[in-house]
Structure 1
Amino acid sequence: MDQYLEVFIKVVEKQNFTKAAEELHMTQPAVSQHIRTLERLVGTRLLERNNKHVRMNKAGEIVYHHAKEILALYTRMQDLVDDLAGSASGPIAIGASYTFGEYILPHIIAKLKKEYPLIKPSIIIHNTKEIIDLVNSYQLDIGIVEGYFNDPQLHSEVVSEDQMVIVASPSHPLLKKNGDLPLSALADETWILREEGSGTRQAADHFFEMHPFTPKAIMEFGSTQVIKESVEAGLGISLLSKWTIVKELTNGYIGMIRVEGLPFKREFTIVTRSVYQTKALNTFIETLKEYLNPGLIKESGEE
């Protein structure tokens, strides 16, 4: 059954029997036979065919969604069985929201690969909502996101704090003010923020609610790098993680505006769906915690 599902997924994603056959190293008639057999087993037609493309019907969408989960669970089961006789090795599917994935995760992966070369991580960077959805559907072994999520289907653990500050162009007049400014002093500024669904945007909205404060003008971008470039160019100000602006602060490309109530702290959280974890996944989690909290890890291991 799992082979029929693998072929079905490939046909759906390639939208073409011939292209799917090439990737699967099968003949096109063999692929067609697998699809017919799966449709017979399920009891209904799954694909709509024409001369150029194939597309899922409603039944096909249901089968595709569950096929991805079934194959992910099958792979995880096999990895857990293999773990019984070996050391930390094998694949890990890791997802991370943009701040963590672009500015912190590469350093953790480099450390992991150096110490455990048999572990093979694959990485997806997306906004927080998408990462949560992929973990929930078993398409990721672990997600690292901004904020804390109390989802009954997920196992969540806060692993570190993140400090967020307000940044502006180095020529911005508010950088020259002495002392901490009230947030109301920034009421007329244009705020450059991430899109809805982003953990960074969620933190900004929460910060505004706490004070309370409503920006008069907001520009939205789907990339932290674009936001930093826009701030440097003088388009507006932003609330960003300190992790993301280390190079810019060091080189004087942007500056931090001193504001009451800052730095604003949020949390980095790891989320998993399965109760059972492979040695590779456990090793990754230990490496991540050690990188983020080296002093804490050392203290907990002392006698």
Structure 2
Amino acid sequence: MRIDRRNDLSLRLLEVFGAVMERRTTTGAAEHLGLSQPAVSNAIRALENQLGLTLFERTGRSLRPTEEARLLVHESEPIFAMLRALEDEVRDLKHGRAGRLRIVTTPPLGHTILPHALREVLAGRERVQVRYSVHRISVVLQAVETGAADVGVFLGPVQNQGLRSHHLADGELVVVLPRDHPLAARTVLTPADLSGYPQIGLNTIIGNIVASAHAAAGVPHEPRFETRYSQSACALVDAGLGLAVVDPYTAAASAGLAIVTRPFRPAATISAVAVTRGKGEAPKLAAQLVEVLRRRLATPPFTPAARG
């Protein structure tokens, strides 16, 4: 069944009518709406013709609302309120003051610098809703690829060519060890230095980098402990169970533990990366988060440095 909508009320005509009722002149309404005065006059005539009612008595240049006009504006007030609210909502969305931001990240950045960058992005944007998830890299990539997340943040190379990659920074891996460890007196540490001491290995890309460094130096790499996350490795080091080579961001965020940090040599780097969907522009808030992360990763305390 076809529905004839030729007689449906036009929201635009009602908006013009409301402006005339508020401003009392077509000139004032035109200035308020950004229209010409003739356009406002034509809109009022069109609304009157559509309704079959006289809304204004015209005396020279002045308009006097009829009783029907007063009743119509009273009944239309909820519609005008909704339009004003919608305009405010659109304005907030346009300027990033409202909306949502879905972030998925791995622990090294998700538990260190990313929350601080997010706080900066959200300043003055109390109406933005955020979903924040921490997972392994494979889940991060899948979430962004399927549109379940707006931005993914992790350490390591991009393993999905369908995503848009945003290089944030390169960080040098560091050695974390107990403060009273015999190697704490060294300024830098090599695979040969670590040999013979209990080590905590990571079964991630960082662990692969460390194993490759040991192989290149001709030094066996046989960790006594194995874990997935640098944060867990730092906790094990803090308990005096060994030493570990981890990312610099987790090491810097572990300053409250009884550990010290030393540069790992030869230098081994790992990239901090953000990814967004490959097609179209990244959402405005996601793009801003990427830029804030890039800037923050370039400044201390989230850059490699000897501490202790």
Normalising by the residue count of structure 1, what TM-score does the alignment of the two structures yield? 0.60
Answer 1 or 2: which has greater helix percent.
Answer: 1
CA distance in 1, matches of 2:127, 2:137: 28
- Computed over aligned residues only, the root mean square deviation of the Cα atoms, in angstroms, reads 2.9
1:1-303 correspondence runs (5 A) = 86-88=94-96, 89-149=98-158, 151-177=160-186, 180-195=188-203, 198-211=204-217, 213-246=219-252, 248-249=254-255, 253-257=258-262, 259-262=264-267, 264-276=268-280, 277-293=282-298
Cα distance in 1 for residues equivalent to 2:181 and 2:94:
58
Task: State the secondary structure of the residue aligned to 2:173.
Answer: strand
- The SS at the match of 2:270 is strand
Q: Distance in 1 between matches of 2:177 and 2:218?
A: 21
Q: Distance in 2 between matches of 1:118 and 1:205?
A: 46
SS at match of 1:132: helix
* C-alpha spacing 1:181/1:112, structure 2 compared with 1 (3 Å): closer
Compared CA separation, residues 284 and 118, structure 1 to 2 (3 A): farther
Q: 3-state SS of the aligned residue for 1:123?
A: strand
Distance change in 2, residues 1:261/1:219 (3 Å): same
Distance apart, 1:166 and its partner CA: 0.9
1:99 positional shift: 0.3
1:291 Cα shift? Answer: 2.8
Deviation at 1:169, TM superposition (A): 1.1
Could you say if the C-alpha distance between residues 199 and 272 of structure 1 is closer, same or farther in structure 2, counting changes exceeding 3 Å?
farther
Aligned residues: 209
The two structures have a TM-score, normalised by structure 2, of 0.59
| Cα distance in 2, alignment partners of residues 223 and 200 from structure 1 | 10
Q: Which letter does structure 2 place at the counterpart of 1:234? A: G
CA distance in 1, matches of 2:299, 2:266: 27
Identity rate of aligned residues, in percent?
Answer: 18
Structure 1, unmatched stretches of 5+, are 1-81, 296-303
Q: How far apart are residue 269 of structure 1 and its match?
A: 0.8
Which position in structure 1 is the counterpart of 2:45? Answer: none
| Runs of 5+ consecutive residues of structure 2 not aligned to the other structure | 1-89, 301-308
Deviation at 1:212, TM superposition (A): 5.0
Identify if the C-alpha distance between structure 1 residues 209 and 98 changes in structure 2 by more than 3 Å, giving closer, same or farther.
farther
Distance verdict in 2 for CA 1:242–1:282, change over 3 Å: closer
